[in-house]
A and B are shown apart, each in its own frame.
Chain A
Amino acid sequence: MTLTYVLMQNLKRNRLRTALTLVAFALPMGIFVLAISFVVAMVQLAQQSEKQLRLAVHHKTTLTNLLPAGMRRKIEALDPDRSRLRAVCGMRWFGGRVPDTQNTLTSLAADADTFPIVYSDVGMTEDEIELWNRERTAAVVGTGPADTYGWKVGDRVVLESTVPPYLTLEFKIVKVISNPERSNFFYFRLDYLNESREAVGASSARCNIFWTKCNSAEGMRSLQAQIDKTFANTPDETKSEDENAFAASFTQANGNLPGLMQAMAIVVVFIVTLVAGNTMMMSFRERTCELAIFKAIGFQRGRIFVIVLAESVMLSFVGSLCGVIPTSLGLLYFPLTLTRLGPLPRLEVSFSAVIASIVIAVAVGFASGLWPAFQSMRLKPADALRKIA
């Protein structure tokens, strides 16, 4: 009689209970895999942006206070031999939206000369860079808006700004960004914005933020301190942050969805542990007699322990599969868009999240089976057989 055989017979015996436990296990595990995918994606995003070695230099008071465009030269002058700093790209918020729609796009005007260097992760080819340099109205857009509005390379698109002086500008798309980390953005040339602003008599030559690309992490840290020190006690006091800290302030402001997901993951682990534990306790209670007989006919303590524990692990394993597989398949075909909730454009289940969920489920099964297994091991056949279930 193999262990698997006993296991399957036991699970099959009370089919109703097995089914109920599986559902009660599968639903929270579905949430778990979602939550973990989210957390994994956030970590990957953070690692990616850490590699980019970009420093966000913005006004200390708030991001909406503008800094003079000349500050770029001052930042560059801090490292004349370019040992720490590679390039600085000034950006100004445009806040454009497609006419007659409500959603404001993350649209930014960027210094044309340094944008391809500072945002090398946008992945512009030589030809695209040439087009970007040549075409005054050039725009580089992420797949998010491109998919939503059906834009493709070569299209002329119009955006109206939601910030003073509320310009309406036409752009020519020169690239659709495939990098998922940049998929919600719309970049265009700052000189085009400045000319258009001057045409309506608005002041120009100001930026919300200077993205400073550095050569090394150490260089970045020393520049960060140096930049803030240089502009301290001037009207344009700055605050420099690395890209992750910068993104984190937005995540916090948008309600900290990653925090919610982490909390949910913890709650779920707690719930499934209780569910599995409960089932195992019930099974154990009903089978006290049977286990006693096993013992009486010579099964060793260790064997009994393994039988009970394996059942719990098996149940959790199957339960997690029932939750994880449908959720993953569902998300594969219907990705959840999170465009307006955080830095992630959409939620996709990652392989590592699936593995993590299953491993955790098995661990939960192990933990919740321990106590019943321990009790079965300690059973005294004579007493147990005498007891009426």
Chain B
Amino acid sequence: MGLPISYHWRNLLVRKTTTLLTLLVVAVVVGVFTWMMGFASSLTRSLAVASDETKLLILKRGATAESNSAIPIEDFNRLNQLSAIVRDEDNIPLLSPEMMAQVSLPRARDGGATFANVAVRGVTAAAFKVHRNVKLLGKGFTTGRREVIVGQAAAKQFAGLNVGDTIGLGYGSDRGYKVVGHFSAGGGPMESEIWGYLPSLMNAYNRKTYSCASLRLSDDADSAAAIERIRGPAIQLEAKTERQYWQAQSAGIRRYLTVAYALVAIMSVAAIFSIANTMFSTVAGRTREVAMLRTIGYSQWRILTGFVFESILLTTVGGIVGCLACVAWLSLVGNTKDMFGATNFTTLAFEIRVTPAIVLWSLLSVVAVGVIGSLIPALRAARTPVVSALRAP
């Protein structure tokens, strides 16, 4: 039979200050860790959406992003000869010409103190067939009017994008476009964008060329072969699958996360040492007690697992406090974050969310920290020489 839980619980309560201090160390580390995980998972989720292997993004040769690409209309027309493109019920290829521009909008989270560069994408009806995960939440734009629709992430994070608001777009920001609806994109990067009708926006931005294009390949098409074909002499454009494109764009964000993770890892090691310290002290203070337990029949193994369990109890409570603190922080201070892509000069808006999976991960890691930190002190306790310990003052 193992030692009863209440035994450990009471032991933790006896040394209130030490327990509380150790618990707080764990809680702080877990809180930061949970925040990082929330950030990383938002990024991963967003990029997972944008990893359609049958969707190709077409750029001008030499361009690194949709926003610094310029495709003349005659170049774009050459894409029609590609046989691997899916056709719709009217036998029209799913090929979407697009224009990218940016507008500087105030961030909602700091009340407009700083501005973010938000992507403006000019599209035609084809875009809604190529970008399958884009779903209108309400009205779409009418082609004859100056109207735009706004991705729901952008609508939340940047000021002045509510339905009914008018934003200044165009080269001089002097053409008022009315926001008529929002759209979702399955949580993908397009949710950070503003969409309007391509000819209207090209006119507003004095553009004579498209920026980029996207197209949908048939499910059985070989994307590598299609990319080769597009790069080849007949078309002479650059193509990337959606996954390749966003992996490159998110390189900087992933580097940022690596830095953050390294810092959290170092803190976790510090937390392990802190727990070891506490557990050593616990064990040292209870030598006679342990000897007593051994005398009345508890095995070495029970003693060992007992102390490890006590440590897990301590760290888990710390972990729960940390997770709660993180959730509280996110809901009180705000959970929005946005970052530039590597070369597209436009911002990708995130929402940091603590999901049950993240909580589970945090708690699992915290249990691991508890086990590692307590293993050696617990071993020492298990090896207590019974007779001499009982005799000691």
Contacts and interface: CB of A to CB of B under 8 A. Distances in A.
Nearest to A250: B340
Interface string A318-351: 0000000000000000000000110000000000
Nearest to B59: A162
Interface string B249-269: 001110110011001001101
A42 interface: no
Interface string B36-74: 000000000000000000000000111111011110000
B280 A17 contact: yes
Interface stretch (B109-117, B187-195, B219-227): B109-117
Contacts of B263: 31, 264
A164 B347 contact: no
Interface stretch (A119-127, A276-284, A295-303, A306-314): A276-284
B102 interface: yes
B173 A60 contact: yes
Contacts of B124: none
Interface residues on B, range: 35 or more
The CB with the most chain B CB atoms within 10 A, among A31, A64, A253, is that of: A253
B274 A30 contact: no
A61 B171 contact: yes
B25 A278 contact: yes
Interface stretch (A175-183, A216-224, A231-239): A231-239
A255 B338 CA distance: 7
A341 B21 contact: no
B67 A64 contact: yes
A267 B32 contact: yes
Interface in A205-257: 234-237, 239, 248-249, 252-255, 257
Nearest to B170: A61
Contacts of B315: none
B273 A286 contact: no
A60 B117 CA distance: 11
A389 interface: yes
B273 A257 contact: no
Nearest to A25: B270
B337 interface: yes
Nearest to A239: B104
A133 interface: no
A209 to B, nearest CB: 14
Contacts of B67: 64
B105 to A, nearest CB: 10
Interface string A50-61: 000000000011
Nearest to A23: B273
A28 interface: yes
A252 B107 CA distance: 10
A297 B320 CA distance: 47
A274 interface: yes
A95 B68 contact: yes
A62 interface: yes
A40 interface: no
Contacts of A267: 28, 32, 267
A23 B270 contact: yes
A104 B345 CA distance: 12
B276 A20 contact: yes
B17 A255 contact: no
B277 A17 contact: yes
B339 interface: yes
B29 interface: yes
B233 interface: no
B256 A341 contact: yes
A20 B280 contact: yes
A347 to B, nearest CB: 10
B114 A20 contact: no
B24 interface: yes
A39 to B, nearest CB: 14
Contact of A274 (B25, B253, B347): B25
A367 B32 CA distance: 24
B171 A277 contact: no
Contact of A64 (B252, B280, B345, B347): B345
16 contacts: A20-B277, A24-B274, A27-B273, A61-B102, A61-B171, A61-B173, A95-B68, A164-B60, A165-B70, A234-B172, A239-B104, A248-B114, A253-B339, A254-B256, A260-B260, A264-B263
- Please name the 7 residue pairs, one residue from A and one from B, whose CB atoms are nearest each other, closest first: A166-B62, A24-B273, A235-B172, A278-B21, A164-B70, A27-B270, A20-B277
